[in-house]
Copies of this chain bind each other. A is one copy, B any other.
Amino acid sequence: MAIRLHSHTAELRRMLREQRDQGETIGFVATMGGLHAGHQSLIEASRGDGNFTVVSVFVNPAQFGPNEDFDSYPRDHDSDFELAVEAGGDLIWYPEVEDLYPEEAQTMVQPGPLGQRLCGLSRPQFFPGICTVVLKLFNLIQPHQAYFGAKDFQQLAIIQRMAADFYLDVDVVGCPIVREDDGLAMSSRNLKLEPEDRDLALTLYRTITRAQTAFAEGERDAAKLREALVAEWPEGLELDYLDFRDPEFLEDCAHLTEDTRIFLGAWLNGVRLIDNARLTP
Contact = CB atoms under 8 A, between A and B. Distances in A.
Given A139-B169, A167-B136, A113 B106 contact: yes
Copies per complex of this chain: 2
A110 B128 contact: yes
Contacts of A168: 139
Contacts of A108: 109-110, 112
A156 interface: no
Nearest to A100: B167
A231 interface: no
Given A110-B128, A128-B110, A105 B165 contact: yes
A245 to B, nearest CB: 16
Interface string A113-135: 11000000000000010010001
B109 A109 contact: yes
27 contacts: A104-B161, A104-B249, A105-B164, A105-B165, A106-B111, A106-B112, A106-B113, A106-B114, A106-B165, A107-B109, A107-B111, A107-B131, A107-B158, A107-B161, A107-B162, A107-B165, A107-B166, A108-B109, A108-B110, A108-B112, A109-B110, A110-B110, A135-B166, A136-B165, A136-B166, A139-B166, A139-B168
Interface of A: 104-114, 128, 131, 135-136, 139-140, 158, 161-162, 164-169, 249
